[in-house]
């Protein structure tokens, strides 16, 4: 695929609805969440900000071990997926940043 001249944000907008369907994306988020757990003491008093969160997979993986979460991304498509997850309670105690 030739991405020359393609706005990267628009590319993510187009892929957002099916992003979580890719097992590699989910696995990578689990690995990142595991590395964070191994490096940072987490508990319900910890507030989490995930900027460039995509669909919020890393925050989703950490939501059971931290307090309030704020997720943000520049892609409108990714923000829509995050918004749906927050509304459905998939990412517990989360809010959307702008």
Distance CA 83, CA 80 (A): 5
Question: Which two three-digit tokens encode residue 13?
Answer: 């907008």
43, burial (CB in 10 Å: exposed 0-12, middle 13-18, buried 19+): exposed
pLDDT on residue 29: 97
pTM score, two decimals?
A: 0.86
Out of 1.10.940.10, 3.40.50.920, 3.40.50.150, 3.30.750.24, select the CATH number for domain 8-96: 3.40.50.150
Q: Which of 18-22, 36-40, 91-95 has the lowest mean pLDDT?
A: 91-95
pLDDT on residue 93: 87
Q: What is the pLDDT of residues 41-84, one digit of tens each?
A: 999 999 999 999 999 999 999 999 999 999 999 999 999 999 99
Angle at 52 between CA 96 and CA 45, to 5 degrees: 55
Domain boundaries, the chain: 8-96
pLDDT on residue 6: 58
Contacts of 34 (CB under 8 A, 6+ apart): none
């Amino acid at each position: 695929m030739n991405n020359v001249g393609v706005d990267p944000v628009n590319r993510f907008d187009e892929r957002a609805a099916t992003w979580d369907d890719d097992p590699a994306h989910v696995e990578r988020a689990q690995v990142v969440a595991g590395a964070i757990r191994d490096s940072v003491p987490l508990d319900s008093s910890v507030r989490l900000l995930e900027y460039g969160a995509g669909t919020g997979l890393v925050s989703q993986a950490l939501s059971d071990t931290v307090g309030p979460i704020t997720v943000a991304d520049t892609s409108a498509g990714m923000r829509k997926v995050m918004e749906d997850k927050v509304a459905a309670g998939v990412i517990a105690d989360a809010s959307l940043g702008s």
